[in-house]
Structures are given as structure tokens and as C-alpha cells.
Amino acid sequence: MAEYVILFAGPMGAGKTTAIRSLSEIEVVSTEAANSEPGAVDKPTTTVAMDYGEIDLDPDMVRLYGIPGQERFDFMWDILRERAMGLIVLVNADDPEPERHVHEQLTAFAELATRGGVVVGVTRYDIQRTDIGDRIVATARAVLPDRVTPVFAVDARDQEQMRTLLLSLIADIETRHALAAAP
């Protein structure tokens, strides 16, 4: 049995908490606080420490950690990054600067993406159908030129879509470990 620690990163409002709630088989441990800056992102609460959920992919156990999107909480990124084996970056298609967010997150977690696995999920793609997929792929390639970074259009509320994203990440992690172990 393997145990996977997966981080959900991305800007505030990208759907990290929603995604973990969609996936988790236990009640999610959340650290939501009232959002003092609703002008920046229009949502009543924001994660200030982490979200935590679990999913049993028999025989493997997956631990899901959502990290705060705001940079002022980047000490939590450092704490959780060390244990993590994989990274899911979520970004809104209707965000004014989705490529910048993907660039920042992949840069901040480049070591994890290289050591483990990484996928990018683009949420609200149905609202903002543009060439954003191609732009995100190009951004990921620019930050991580030595690896292919899968990019998915996902609905964070949809358990099946999020499960596909997660299984893709775990397959990526296992493939890279197998290749690294090969003589």
C-alpha cells in the first residue's frame, strides 16, 4: 500500500477547497476565515491554514492538502511542500491573469513538480471558453521545460472530473518513480 500526499495550490477562489470537498471521503478539516478583502475575490471566506481530506484508492491512501492562495501565507506552503509527492494547480479560466498565477505556482513548487508529479486544472472553463488551454500549456512548458505538464479543464464541484485529475497525477508520480528506479 502506498500513501500519497497531494497539494492543491492556486490563487484564492480557484476552487481548491471545493475540489477537496468533492474528492474527500472523510469530512474535510477546513480553516476558513471571513474574507476581509471581498473586492479582490468575491467570496465570503478564505482558507488561512489548510484544508485536509482523504480518499482511499484501495490499496493506496491519498491525503489531500489545500494550501492558502495568498502569498502572505507562503510559510504554510513551505511546511506542507516537504511532505508532498504531487501537486495540483487550479486556476480560474475567468481570472484576469490565469497564466501569471500558473507561472507563479509552478515556479514556487518547481522542486516538487520535478521530484514528484504535477497537473494543472482549469476551472470555470465553461464560462470562459477561449484559447486559455493552449496558453496554460505554453506557460507550464516555459516553467518546466524538461517535463510534460498535463492540463485539464475541470469542474471542481464534480467528483468524477476531480477524480480523473487526481488519478492522472498519481499515474504521473508512479511513472516517474518507476523510470527513476529502472536500471
Phi-psi region at 78: left, alpha or beta (left = phi > 0; alpha = psi -120 to 50): alpha
Q: Considering the complex, what minimum distance in angstroms separates the CB of residue 28 from other proteins?
A: 10
Q: Considering the complex, what minimum distance in angstroms separates the CB of residue 154 from other proteins?
A: 26
**Nearest-CA neighbor of 122 among 94, 96, 158?**
94
List of residues contacting other proteins (CB under 8 A)? 29-37, 46, 48-50, 68, 70, 72-73, 75-76
Nearer to other proteins, 37 or 94 (CB): 37
Q: Considering the complex, what minimum distance in angstroms separates the CB of residue 149 from other proteins?
A: 29
Contact 115, 131 (CB under 8 A): no
Residue ranges of alpha helices (H) inside the chain are: 16-23, 74-81, 98-108, 110-115, 132-143, 159-181
Spatial separation of the C-alpha atoms in residues 181 and 167, rounded to whole Å: 21
Nearer to other proteins, 53 or 98 (CB): 53
Contact 120, 99 (CB under 8 A): no
Q: Positive or negative CA dihedral for 106, 78, 84, 122? A: negative
Nearer to other proteins, 27 or 60 (CB): 27
Nearer to other proteins, 35 or 168 (CB): 35
Q: Considering the complex, what minimum distance in angstroms separates the CB of residue 47 from other proteins?
A: 8
Q: Positive or negative CA dihedral for 84, 118, 38, 27? A: negative
Q: Considering the complex, what minimum distance in angstroms separates the CB of residue 75 from other proteins?
A: 6
Nearer to other proteins, 51 or 95 (CB): 51
